[in-house]
Each structure stands twice: as C-alpha cells, then as structure tokens.
Structure 1
Amino acid sequence: MLAFHSPQTTRQPPLHNRFPRPLSKPPICSVTLTPSVTTTANISSHNNNVLIQSICKQGSLKEAVQALSTEPHPTQRTYELLILCCVHQNSLADAHRVHSHISSNRYGQDPFLVTKLITMYSELDAIDDARKVFDKSRKRTIYVWNALFRALTLAGNGTEVMNLYRLMNRTGISSDRFTYTYVLKACIASGYLISLLNKGKEIHANILRCGYEKNVHVMTTLLDMYARFGCVSYANSVFGLMPVRNVISWSAMIACFAKNGKPFRALELFQKMMLETHDLKPNSVTMVSVLQACAALGALEQGKLIHGYILRRGLDSILPVVNALITMYGSCGKRNLGQRVFDRMEERDVISWNSLISAYGLHGFGEESIQIFQEMICNGVSPSPISFVSVLGACSHSGLVEEGKMLFDSMHKEHRIYPSTEHYACMVDLLGRANRLEEAANIIEDMRIEPNGKVWGSLLGSCRIHCNVELAERASSKLFELEPRNAGNYILLADIYAEAEMWDEVKKVRKLLETRELQKVPGRSWIEVERKMYSFVSVDEFDPHIQEIHAFLIKLSAEMKGKGYVPQTKVVLYDLDESEKERIVLGHSEKLAVAYGLLNTSKGETIRITKNLRLCEDCHSFTKFISNFANKEILVRDVNRFHHFKNGVCSCGDYW
C-alpha cells in the first residue's frame, strides 16, 4: 500500500496534493490508494472546526463549547468565534472554559487571541481576569497593550492605565492613534484629579511630537479630555488648530461650552457649524448640548427653532433628545410645552420623569412635583437619587417642609437609596428657607457622611435670608476651610453683616477677599429679543455704550418713586450715602435687561430674563413694581427658581 505523510498544519493541502502522483510507468499489478490515518484526522479536524464555527454563528454557545472539548486542534478562527459568542451570551463561565482550552495548546501566547481574550473579559466586567491574561502574555504587541488600556479605562482605572502607559514607553513600543485615544480617556476615568490633567498635557505634547495632530479621532479625544476638566481655553485651542473636523469634533466643542458655563458660545458655535459645514449634519449628541445651552440662557425662541430641526431630522424618537427638550422648555418658562412633549412620548425613562418634576419645581409648583413623583412610582419606574434632588428642591421652593421630610425619610426606608451630600443640602435648604435654622443645623450634625461645601453653603444661604449672624459665622468658618477660593461665601457673609449694619465686620471680610485675591462673580443677565440673545453685566459705573438704557432706568425709577416704589439699598455692601447706594443698585444686570426688554418688545409680549445669581431683594421689588407700573408680564429665572411677575405680584409669593 502506498502512503504519504501530510505536513503538520491545520491548513489542508489542495486536493491534487492529497494523493501521490501516478508513477512514470504503470505498475505491473494494480494497487488501491488509501488515505493515511493522519490525513483522515486532518479532514475530520477541519470538518469539526467548521462545525464549531457554524454552531457559534447560530448562537448555540453551550453546544459549541461541548464540541470544543472533543477537538484537539481548534483553529484561530474557531477560538475567535467562541470568544465573540461568550461575549454575546454574557457567559463568564464559558469564557473561562474557552480561555482554559486556549492556554492548553500552542495558541496560549498568540497575540491576536490574547488581545481578544482581554477584550472579552472587559466586556464581561471581569477586569481582574483581563489583567491576568495580560500579565501572563510574553509577545506583547501594541494591540495587546491597547486592549488592556481600553479595558482598564472602561473600568475606571485611569491611574493604572497611566502607570502601564509609562511602562510601555520604557519598553520601546510606539503608541498608535488607539493608544492615545485610550490613555486620554483614562485621564478622566478615575475622577478629575489635577495629576491626571497634567498627564493629559504630557500626552498632548507626545501627540504633537509624533505627528498625530492631524488625526481627527485623537484630537477630538484630546479636546474632550480638556472639556471634561473644564479647561475651556485649552479645548478651544485644540479645536481651532484641527485641520479636519467631523461632527463629533463640533459636538464635543459645543458640549464643552454648554457644560462649562458658556452657553452663549455654545449657540454661536452651533450656528457657525450650520453655516460652514453643509456636508456635516448635527447628530443627537449635538442636539442635546444645544438644547442644554438654550435651557441655560432661557432662549425659548432659539429652543423652538431647534425643536423644529429635531422634528425635521427625525431625531424626536431618541430618548436623550426628548428628555433635553422637556428640560429646555421647563427652563425657558414653558413647562406646559414640556408637559406636552412628555405626554407624547412613547417611551420614558427615569430621566424623563426627573425632567418634568424639576420643571414644575422650578416654577414653584411643589405639590404638582410630588404628584408627578408618585405617578412615576405607580408606573413602575424606580426613583433615582436625582429624582429625590428634584422633588426635594420643589418642596424647598414651595415651603412644603413636612412633605419634604417624609420624602427624605422614604429614600432609604422604601427605595434603598442612601442620602448623599446633595440630598442633605436640599433638606438644609428646605428647613432654612422656612426659618427653621436650628433644625437645619441639627440635620448637619446628624449626617452619616461628612458635610461638604454644598451643605454648609445651603445653611449660609438660609442665614442670609433670615439674617442669622451667629449661625452664619459658624457656617462660613467651615466654608472657608472647605472652599477657601470661593469668593461667593465671603460675599454672603458680608451681605449678612451689612444687613445687620455691622460695618466693621463687613470691612474685615472685604479685606480677606483682597488679601486672598478673590474676585466676586459678576451678576449677569440674558434676554432674548427677536431670536437674538443679549447679555448684561452688573456694574457700579455706568457703561457709555448703554447710556440709553441707563437714562431710561433713571427716568423710570423717578416715576416709580412717585408711585410709591422705595429702593432697597441694604443690598449694597458699602457704607455710603443713600443716593450713591441707589445709583449702584440701579446698575444691576437684571434691571438693565428689564429696561432693554421694555424698550425693545411689543405691547403684550412677555419679557423673559435669565440671571446667573440669586435675584436680590431690590431687583425683585423693582421688577414686581414695574410689572404693574408698565403693565408688562416679566419672567425671570435666577439660580434657584422662576419668578413670574404680573400685575405687581410675583409667583414666588416673596419666598425664594
């Protein structure tokens, strides 16, 4: 019998090579050609691999793993499909079996499969197993390193990524675009630590040295890293130098402005994107950021235009976009339109309910907010920690103390949610506004976690409302330790001293501000007129560019005084004569915005204003008086809530 030995490989030879060629002379007697045992085994192994791969593609993981146990020579492709099937079926137990099988044969150190195994364990939330695969690997290619960087970044282990990245650099392996993308994301994966920001800046320098500044994916991730750390100028610089920008780049920069207190810039950039990039279409992420900017500014007409664009593009079926619409309408004073959007939703999540609860709370409808909260639970949606922040805030703005206390108690008893510092801050605010300051202080004393600046800030704000000097000094001393660079805390304490006419103490606080070189955040107000946004800043000296507004305000103030208006100059922190104090309060940004609205809106048109700080007592009194004096409906949203002024009355009932 003639026989031959096939080469030891999993790849099968062509059919014409599987049997010996005919002899140059025919043999004297005929013989029967029979495949060798080795050939039969290879054919069988090939068929078995094809079978396992087919089973994997059908999604029958258990059957595929069982078939694997009878196959001594699986191919790389077979293992790859088994790994993918383990991920799709979310089966860690089968993943361990497949991994064990790989480790027992010649593929144990195959870089391709090592990369796939690390990715598999990452997808299955088994980061320790992923790290073990990496630690046992010897042929570490850049793909293996990248797989681990990605796994650790997704798991939030940013610091570990940075340490490994440093180790990789020492081994002489060059980074590629994926490496830079993962390590930049790792900079923010473990929280906003200044050390990681500095590391991000080092990576930025490496990117420039290695010539990756033209790669749109790397530069967009770099931009996003700076944006997450609030480094708006750095992010904007990266964006400005990008030779190529895609929709993700534009969206990242718009989001950077929207989330870092620059909503005006966000809308400007969005308009520029629409004018300059006809081939790029904004996506759902872009729309969410733009709607957030509209909400921050109270830009109702702009928001309506965006809503129309969303409908035309068919983006109204995307849940985050619709949730952002509800928030936008609520923040722009049109909670009824937000309610209409909510009612038409086919699918709702807890964020949808939270957005509606918050919208009603901002307008002072505390009881309605509680009702929506209860309706959410009845619909089978479990409240999130944000749900309680929203409903407790609504109770605070409406003076619903007992209802708020019951909701707070239900957090852990009924919903197994432990209160965070934000929830405690809501409770301190709720009690403090109701002049139950000692009870608010006791809440802080009994906290199960360490109170932070938000908690003590809520108490100090309440002391400002009720002019409680003793408790204010206690709260401010804590705040000066926790937030030594927050000028607002010093200003609040100075306000309290000024109202108590403790001018020596006011001077001491002002001296502290000067010594520590702290600047008060200037009051800023926005108004939308004919779909354009106008911004005004509080000033002590009259700006020559808005002389018309000031002249109008002076005339208006004089006429209002004749009708009984009395300026509340106690808000001025300087020990000045009364006329000088009146001149200062007349320059507050919300008054400038109101005056501009009176000069540039038609009869019957509502004036809508957004303020970055709390509405001061004099501006509240002024706007309330002018709504009746000029027969004008005025809507002002300050940092806490909405004030709806009409016929000389405010919707807050002077409780804010």
Structure 2
Amino acid sequence: MKSEGGLPDKYTYPLVIKACSSEVKAWEGKMLHGLALKSGCEKDVFVGTSLVGFYAKIKEILNAKKVFDEMSERNVVSWTALVVGHINVGDIVEAKRVFDLMPERNVATWNALMGWWVKTGDLVTARKVFDEMPERNAISYTMMIDGYAKAGDMASAMFLFEQAPERDIFAWSAMISGYEQNGQPNEAIKMFIRMSEMDVKPDKYILVSLMSACSQVGSLELAMWVDGYLSRSDIDVSQAHVLAALIDMNAKCGNMARAAKLFEEMPKRDLVSYCSMIQGLAIHGQEAQAIELFNRMISEGLVPDEVAFTIILNACSGAGLVEEGWHYFEIMKNEYSMVPTPDHYACMVDLLSRTGRLKAAYDLIKSMPVEPHAGAWGALLGACKLHCDVELGELTAARLHELEPLNAANYVLLSNIYAAAEQWVNVSRLRNKMKERGLRKGNFGSQRFNCWIEFEELDQYSHGSKELNQGEAFSIVTPLKPS
C-alpha cells in the first residue's frame, strides 16, 4: 500500500498489527508502532489496544505497559490485553492487580485469569474463578473440563460437560482424550459414539485419542472398524502422529499384517513406530520377530530409549529368553549409558522368576540401587507359588504387605503357597489375619477387568451421512468385575 503512495490510517493499523501478533513478527510490529507514532494514530483506542496486545504476545511487557499507560482512552479489550501480557510472562500477581483495577470485565478477561490457574494445575482456584464469573462461554467450560481431565478427575469433567449450554469440538476432544489418558477406554469410545450421534465431526486429535483407546481395549473388530472409519474420512493419514496411532492400534489389537504394511510404507520410520510394532509382536506371541525388529531398529541407527528397553525386556520375559534379556539389560547400561529404572528391574525379575531362577531374581532385587516397586516383588511371589518355595515366598510376601497393605492378592498367593506345601496351620493363620484387616479375596490392588464389546453390522455405517447409532453399530457393556 505504501509503495503505491497510500498511507495507513487508524482503521488499517489495528488489522496489520494484529497480523504481526499472530505471526509473532516483532520487527515488523515495532516498525508499525513507529509509523503510528509519526502519523498520530497511536492515540486511537483501537490502535493503542492492538499495540498492547502485540507487545503482550511477544512478551515485552514493559513496552505493553508503556503503551497502555500513555493511552488517553481505554476499553475492556485494552485492559484484557494487559492482563494477558502479565500472564504470558508468568506474573500472576500483577495480572490479578490489573484485573482488580478494571472498571469492567468481559468473559475473555475472566477466561484469561482462569486459564492461568488451570495451566498451573491449581483447579481449586480456577474453579473459584469459574464460579464467580457473571457469564461463561464455551471456552470457559472447555478450559475447566480440560483441566479436570488432565488432572484425572473425570467425574468433575463430566459434570461440567453435561452442564455446558454449548459444547465445541475442543470440549468433546478434552473428554475423549481425558478418558483415554486416564485408563477408561470404554468411556472414551462411548463419548465418541455420542459425539457422532450429535452430528459433530471429529478432528484428527479426537481420532488419535480414539485409536489410543482402541489400543487399550485390544479388540481386533473395533480396530478394523476405526481403521475403516478413518479411511472414509478426510483426515490425512500420512501425518506422523495419525499414522503412528494407526500403527499402534493395529499392532496392539492383533492386526499385524495391516500394522506391518503401514510400517513398511512409512517414508521414515522413527522410534515410536518401531516400539509400536515390537510391542504388538510381543503381545501376540511373536517374541522372536519382536527381537529381530528391535535389532533392525538399532542397525538403522535409531537409539532406543527407556520405553524401548522396557518393551524388549517384556518380550524376552514373555518368551522366557533369559540370555537375550540379560544381553539387552547389559547393553542398556554399558552401551547406552542408561540407569535401569524399577520397571527394567521388574522385567528382569519376572524373566528370571518365570524360568525358575528364584534365587537369582531375589538377589537382583536386593542389588537394586533404587527401591523396587510392588511389580518386581509380585512377579517373584507368583513364581514362588508356581515352584512351591515357602521360605522365599514368606520373605517376598512380607515386603509386599509393607508396600501394599490392603492388597488381598498378596495374602491369597501366600496362602496358596502354604496350601501347596500342606501347611494348613499357616493357611488358617493367614486367613484370620485377612479377616482382622477387613480384606476379602476381591480386594485386589490393581484389578484387571474383562471388557466386552459387541459389534453389529459395522460395515453398514456410512461416513457420508455421519450417522452412527449406538445400538446398531456397537454397544459397550460395563466391564465385568472378576468373581
């Protein structure tokens, strides 16, 4: 415009300065500030407000405050921009001071303040601000829902979700990802069905969460349906995070042919995709192929991380491959300079225990430089039951009773060890101790539920119509508790 002799005015400056804010173009924005000063346009409330917002965005809070203080006229957007600026640089005290000085506030101002508390994890204060708001919009509800979901409080998230007068795609995404990340995959799938029935089109983030939920459920039929749904959608499957989730879902749900095809067609395979394939192979009893693929990953120059070593050690444990397990455990320490975590030790203890090397497993636990968790001791106790080792079983159970005093499974295992050795007095004594502590056989520390998913006529679903009837497509039955 300037090259053609035109000059920006008070209507043009806010638009161009806002564009600089969006693109975080600091030099260009400051140049526009200089031009506005020369033309006298900086005195306009809209120009001044856009400059406050610009400096707030690039985190130059002193310049933002200077422009704000020099404004002869301010509106609620000007004040809100300054509040956001202080929040952007982490100065919540000054942000709250400016907030309290405001002659009037709008919903964006309240959302900015509440957003800080949600971001820092202080949901008590965030909820207090939320409850004090004179009016709320979809963003207000979505921020709180997302905060509760990330904190694992899905009950509070669902309560606000149901109360929201309108729900945007981000609220649905927060609920679905919240359930998925908090180990409630069935609820995540239910929420997806409900969203579809309300004619809300999912985005790629929701579909990634859905695939992750399917991975947790481990149902081949469900994975095939989701894979088909994705192929009929307009989501670009070649995007790295979408493709990674698709490979992971197919691998963990047992569709190894489909997972392998997607994996081999990748232009560049990364650590995440390798780990998904290796874990899928191990889960479905193909440990030899899992080890072969792990070695291929190393030969291609990829550096395994702690998760990758946990996966391969689990694979060795599942197949009882002691030498291979020790090999990976040693190279993790010696070649990759990693300090084994309690999970790595637990894998090795499980491997040794499964193959009857109980003394070696116990010695490994005692040699750990970090405190072993219940998983390692539990693997050893299970092996003591299998091999009827009463003495070591008593030592192991005693440690587990300290770590998990309310987990009845540990008492039951020890009782079974006594019963196998025909030590009925000890069986009776242990059962009396359980009664004294109010423990029953159902009081397991980490229950594993059987999830039943019934499918009906999935192939009749038409993506074009965006209709998904929960009864006709598939119903998710409440998980059955172990008897």
TM-score normalised by L of structure 2: 0.73
Q: Is the 8 A contact 1:366 1:400 kept in 2?
A: no
| Other-structure match for 1:306 | 226
- Could you give the per-residue CA deviations for residues 312-337 of structure 1, whole angstroms, max 9, x where no partner exists? 22331122222222222233222232
The share of aligned pairs that are identical, in percent, is 30
Question: Are 1:323 and 2:244 an aligned pair?
Answer: yes
How many residue pairs get matched?
Answer: 415
Q: Deviations over 1:510-529 (max 9, x none)?
A: 22551699833666323444
The correspondence of residues 288-299 of structure 1 with structure 2, limited to 5 A, is: 288-299=208-219
Preserved contact between residue 406 and residue 443 of structure 2 (Cα < 8 Å): no
Matches within 5 A, 1:129-140: none
Q: How far apart, CA to CA, are the structure 2 residues paired with 1:455 and 1:166?
A: 49
Given the alignment, which residue of 373, 392, 398 partners 1:471?
Answer: 392
Matches within 5 A, 1:155-554: 164=92, 168=96, 172=100, 176-187=110-121, 199-211=122-134, 214-276=136-198, 278=199, 280-312=200-232, 313-501=234-422, 502-511=426-435, 513-514=437-438, 519-520=443-444, 524-531=449-456, 532=474, 533-534=476-477, 537=480
The question of whether the paired residues in 2 share the 8 Å contact of 1:366 and 1:395 is answered with yes
Instruction: Give the deviation of 1:403 after TM superposition.
Output: 0.7
> Following the alignment from structure 1 to structure 2, what is the Cα–Cα distance between the partners of residues 268 and 181?
28
SS in 1 for 2:450: strand
Report deviation, 1:467.
Answer: 3.8
Contact 2:138 2:164 in 1 (8 A): yes
Q: Higher helix share goes to which structure?
A: 2
- Separation in structure 2 between the aligned mates of residue 180 and residue 116 of structure 1, nearest angstrom: 18
Q: Are the equivalent residues in 2 in contact too, given 1:223–1:235 (CA < 8 A)?
A: yes
- Conserved? CA contact 1:226–1:234, under 8 Å: yes
Give the C-alpha shift of residue 385 in structure 1.
Answer: 1.3
Q: Deviations over 1:262-284 (max 9, x none)?
A: 222222211111111x2x32112
**Distance in 1 between residues matched to 2:284 and 2:429, nearest whole Å:** 36
Instruction: Assess if the C-alpha contact under 8 Å between 1:476 and 1:493 holds in 2.
Output: yes
Paired with 1:256 and 1:331, the residues of 2 have a C-alpha distance of: 20
Alpha carbons of 1:469 and 1:450: their partners in 2 closer, same or farther (altered >3 Å)?
same
- Change beyond 3 A, Cα 1:467–1:287: farther
Name the residue aligned to 1:115. Answer: 56
Q: 1:247 to 1:171 in 2, by over 3 A?
A: closer
Change (3 A) 1:535 1:208: closer
* Structure 2: distance between partners of 1:504 and 1:455: 27
| Inter-CA distance 149–294: structure 2 relative to 1 (3 Å threshold) | same
The structure with the largest alpha-carbon Rg is: 1
Question: In the superposition, relative to structure 1, how do residues 268 and 144 fare at CA in structure 2: closer, same or farther (>3 Å)?
Answer: same
Counterpart of 2:392 in structure 1: which amino acid? L
Q: 1:416 is paired with a residue of what secondary structure? A: coil
Query: Structure 2 CA distance, aligned partners of 1:453 and 1:133?
Result: 55
User: In structure 2, how many angstroms separate the alpha carbons of the residues matched to 1:178 and 1:370?
Assistant: 50
Q: Is this contact kept in 2: 1:114–1:133, CA < 8 A?
A: yes
Residue pair 1:498, 1:506 contacting (<8 A) in 2 also? no
- Structure 1 residue runs of 5 or longer lacking an equivalent are 1-14, 16-53, 66-73, 80-109, 120-129, 153-160, 188-198, 540-587, 589-656
